[in-house]
Structure 1
Amino acid sequence: MKDGKQKEKLLSEEQSVNLFAILKKRFDQNMHRHKAMHWLKIQHKLEASPDKVWSLHEMEQTGGEPDVVLHDHITDHYIFMDCSIESPSGRRSFCYDREALNSRKTNKPENSVLDMISYMGVELLTEHDYYELQAIGSIDMKTSSWLFTPENIRKKGGALFGDKRYGRVFIYHNGAESYCAARSFRALLRI
């Protein structure tokens, strides 16, 4: 079963070539997000990590428009984040986690954010990550995105989300079991 899961989380050569073309084009068109970074270095790291390429493909397929936004010089990780202007359209209407999903008696959403994050092999943006992404370019001006929620808030039934209105970033809370058509989540992937 483990081998089967690994096989299904690999892209075909054609899918990889197509994804790399999309990522390189986005990289070239948005140099303000990654000054002093070079695509070939990033591509070599991607080629050495097919599981990460699969995760990037999932980010792309669900509307995240992933792009490189940071380079951690200490760990030598390149950090991709969802850079779509509005929250990724293929990940909307999810409650926060499995506990929240199970607590709903009626009108259950299709999935939860944390289950989807686990399946995709990515991380959920923290408040800090969200502010960093907003500093690169305005996002979520009509939508909102779930954010990683500290345990002390989650234990009380809440979860965090953010958006940008009136030219500033807002971080709010809501019941973790809530969901809406204009709220998704943004992912982060370290390569």
Structure 2
Amino acid sequence: PDDTYAYGANRGGIDERWFASTTEAANEGRVPDEGLSYVVVGKERFTLRQAVADCGATLVGQAIWKQYKRWPVYSKFFDNMGPIPHHMHQNAKQAKLVGQEGKPESYYFPPQHNNVGNNFPYTFMGLEPGTTKAQVRKCLEDWNKGDNGILDLSRAYRLKPGTGWLIDPCILHAP
């Protein structure tokens, strides 16, 4: 792609692309509409969020519109040199406590963007059986010391271009 540094060198290269997104990015220093997908019809360009608001169930289907009154998901094209930090997202019940929504996540590793395995073509998910709370607590205590060892407690899965993952909330992952 010719837009790897679309937001300037100070923001770094784009390694994650959202598609079918009606969700704005929540990162510091974001640009207007960052994270939102666009629809182009002829010479007209508008956000998918606006299209969903205008077309409702006709666009997203009756069941989704009835429950959410919007398009509640998006997917990512993901292309990193190595795994991002181990993290997890809240489920619906937990997120509701802070006025948010739960976040399952999906990742897709397109062959067009993953023609080499980069530094470490694996993703980490969950914890190894037998992992103790004390081991996880120690990793959290060591959070600011560099490598805190959390990935030693997780299982790595080899990435296969053309495939992806759907990760439910509350599951540790480091894609």
Q: What TM-score does the superposition give when structure 2 sets the normalisation length? A: 0.31
Q: Which of 1 and 2 has greater Rg?
A: 2
Higher helix residue share? 1
